[in-house]
Amino acid sequence: MERTHPRSRRLAGALALVALTLALGACLPPAGTRPLESTPTPAGCITDVGPAPRLVFGGCGGDVTYNVSVPARCLTHACGLILDVHGWTMTGDQQDANTQIAAIGGVAGYIVVQPNAPGSVPSWSSAHYPLVAAFVELAIDVWHVEERRVHVTGFSQGGAMTNWMRCNRADLFASAAPTAMAGAACADGTNMPTLYIQGLDDIFIPQSAIDATIASFVDRHGLDRQLTLLDEGGITVTAYGSSTPGVPIYQTVIHSHSSEGVNGHCILGSPDPANFYGCDQPTEWTHGRLVVDFFRWNPKPA
């Protein structure tokens, strides 16, 4: 049985309460609990349906490969899906070593897709974004995914892809969690529940960009309610909501944790701090847990 620290449970309770009172999430059974009407079958570049902790698929377009974790229950029950995108110079394996979203999401009933960018120094470009979205659509069809529980998160360059998906594929994703990457509210007003995780003193993301990102959501979506859920250990969690019914929640996790060479441009609570992608300071408020819990509480409304 998974154990959580009492303070983690308190924060989880507070976040759940905010999601219930400010978000759109309608009643929906937990991921991985509704029996499937048909068995998952390989299609396209997805040649194996698992179950497996790590399947790898290529030949899907753009020289992008995909690590996919498929819990056993997802062959018999409708699971959710999380797209977890790595940053510049990283791989899907390195992303998961720092976020642990494959394991955390698997326990919660989610298939997790972690793509790998091409190149000797892996790097994403905007040309890859629709290709990755197309793979997610294929995965939804193959595993008969619960379409109201499809979510996207990413670190650094992966955060840029997350912001693109948030604004351009709101039909596909229920909620988003960009990390270590600034990104304004969508210009056309498109909106979904969003969790923004950002370190301070980030060598790539200046404070002005962090402030502008938060202000853009507050101003564009009329977020006139603000609640600080946590402020300890160099981590501040804030929820923003609107007095207007139906406006999705916006949450921020702003932290002062750091990694040598990149300062705040790191993954919070990484179990692999030996590499500079993970923040050095230990914390119970881990990136993977915060993200997966946010997704659990923010499916698409009916």
The pLDDT of residue 12 is above 60: no
Q: 1: Cβ–Cβ under 8 A, 6 or more apart, which residues?
A: none
Question: For residue 51, is the peptide bond before it cis, meaning its omega torsion is within 30 degrees of 0?
Answer: yes
Evaluate whether residue 188 is within a structural domain. Answer: yes
Lowest mean pLDDT among 67-71, 87-91, 170-174: 87-91
pLDDT at 187: 95
- Residue 194 domain-assigned? yes
Q: Coil, strand or helix: which one is 108?
A: coil
* Parallel/antiparallel/unpaired status of strands 250-255 and 235-241: antiparallel
Q: Encode pLDDT of 43-56 as tens digits.
A: 999 999 999 999 99
Give residue 184's domain range: 29-297
pTM recorded for the entire structure: 0.91
> Domain count of the chain?
1
Instruction: State the Cα–Cα distance between residues 104 and 288, nearest whole angstrom.
Output: 7
Instruction: Reply yes or no on whether the pLDDT at 23 is more than 50.
Output: no
Q: Side chain identity at 3, as an amino acid letter?
A: R
* 179: in domain: yes
Query: How high is the pLDDT of residue 27?
Result: 62
Q: Is the pLDDT of residue 107 over 50?
A: yes
> In the prediction, which pLDDT does 3 show?
44
Residue 177 falls within a domain, yes or no? Answer: yes
Indicate whether 9 belongs to any domain.
no
Residue 240 burial by Cβ neighbours in a 10 Å radius (0-12, 13-18, 19+)? buried
Q: Give the pLDDT mean for 55-84.
A: 98
Q: Is residue 250 part of a domain?
A: yes
Three-state SS for 203? coil
CATH code: domain of residue 131: 3.40.50.1820
Question: CA 154, CA 164: separation in Å to the nearest integer?
Answer: 11
In a domain, 13, yes or no: no
Does 23 map to a domain?
no
Which of 197, 241, 198, 204 minimizes the C-alpha distance to 221?
A: 241
For 241, phi and psi rounded to 5 degrees? -140, 175
